[in-house]
Chain A
Amino acid sequence: MYSQGLQDAKGGQEPEGLLKAFQKRIDNEEKIEPRDWMPEAYRKTLIRQMSQHAHSEIVGQLPEGNWITRAPTLKRKMILLAKVQDEAGHGLYIYSATETLGISRDEMTRQLLSGEAKYSSIFNYPTPSWADMGAIGWLVDGAAIMNQVPLCRASYGPYARSMVRICKEESFHQRQGYDIMTVLARGSRAQKKMAQDALNRFWWPALMMFGPSDKDSTHSAQSMQWKIKRFSNDDLRQKFIDATVPQAEHLGLTIPDKDLKWNEERGHYDFGEIDWQEFIQVIKGNGPCNKQRLAARQKAHDEGEWVRKAAEIYQQNQQDTV
């Protein structure tokens, strides 16, 4: 997801004929592969969207990693560990797909650590409670699925293929989250309160994951035309709300939105205004945990320095002995 529709797409001067032929391939649902001709703007937009997506998977490990050592049972610990490991895998699939567009892994890492590249706003919220692991799996991975399923048909082959792998793994993530919420919601009063509290804190940030409202999202049209986006931000958000509200009701949990109500005529839920000011602040780096998240990535990068060095020396030695 995770790109949140912030990418831009300004084209340079390219031969009309090539551009037309390219668009025709896309209109015919043909996939574009790494060595095919593509407009520079398409390449740039994809690099931005895909690297943001990969960064989100990587940074997304942090809020949940926070609970691995204190998961309530061994079973929960193993599940959480597997889930977080999957997210690392997702990051790697997408980084590898992004590299086919001509950007190096090192450059992407540099952009993340320098703050130049964005990642999903959702991972800048803290996870003070075990119930947050439930809310994240259920809502955050749930929102990610809404966004990623259409990306399985994205026009860029390597991106689409990595999404197919990822989507297969995401449903486990969402289910284990809902399972945590179910156990808490059916537990003691204190446990139910924990579940409700996590829902209260994660509901609105989860809705923001779909990016700005369509009326403020300037680059969507081009991305739609290129088929690296299939549904608008608002459409996906509505889809997510419609799917999630009954799930909350089923657990006896209350969505923290007093304007939320079923609209018979539209066949959708109406919902309250999103606090876009908060969204912009978090994207800008002023969310509750932005600094902490980047500092954690930087620390991991620095502490891994000797491993990368050792690997390089090893590689050199191997070559020398041949």
Chain B
Amino acid sequence: MKLYEIFIRAKSGLNHRHVGSLHAADPQMALQNARDVYTRREEGVSIWVVEAAAITASNPEQSEAWFDPAADKIYRHPTFYPLDEEVDNM
């Protein structure tokens, strides 16, 4: 059987969030199992199941090269721009 990653929307207005995985023969079975395993206490209003093999992930060993360039671009944040006191808030 295949490994499926399970994502659940806790309530409308929120993103689906990864909660774990399970084994199933097809997406339908994965959905049914996910309902029993992950939503016994009204934890969700919507479930996504994704075959684990279909996920492409970034490599943690390259995370510096990937994510650090964002660190020195502080001009992307509003606090980079001082405001005159009179203007106060923007």
* Supplied contacts A35-B59, A99-B21, 20 more A-B pairs, CB within 8 Å: A33-B60, A35-B57, A37-B61, A82-B40, A86-B40, A89-B37, A92-B20, A92-B22, A93-B37, A96-B20, A96-B21, A161-B20, A162-B20, A165-B19, A308-B1, A311-B1, A312-B25, A314-B26, A315-B26, A318-B26
Q: Is the interface of A mostly helix, strand, loop or mixed?
A: helix
Interface size class of A (residues with CB under 8 A): 20 to 34
| Distance from A138 Cβ to chain B, minimum over Cβ atoms (Å) | 21
The answer to whether A314 touches B23 (Cβ under 8 A) is: no
A275: interface (CB < 8 Å): no
Q: Which residue of chain A has the shortest Cβ distance to B4 in the bound complex? A: A96
* Cα–Cα distance between A92 and B36 once the two chains are bound (Å): 11
Contact residues in A for B23 (Cβ distance below 8 Å): 105
Top 7 A-B residue pairs of the complex, sorted by shortest distance between their CB atoms: A315-B25, A311-B25, A96-B21, A96-B20, A35-B60, A36-B60, A314-B25
B interface, over-half SS: mixed
Q: Is residue A97 contacting chain B, with contact meaning CB distance below 8 A? A: yes
A-B contact count (CB 8 A): 46
| Least CB distance, B17 to chain A, in whole angstroms | 11
Contact B20 A97 (CB under 8 A): yes
From A35, A37, A158, A315, B2 is in contact (CB under 8 Å) with A315
Complex CA–CA separation, A168 to B29 (angstroms): 26
Which residues does chain A contribute within 8 Å of B57, judged by CB atoms?
A: 35
Instruction: State the CA gap A318–B29 with chains docked (Å).
Output: 12
In contact, A92 and B37 (Cβ under 8 angstroms) = yes
Q: Mark A89-132, 1 if CB is under 8 A from B, else 0.
A: 10011001101000001000000000000000000000000000
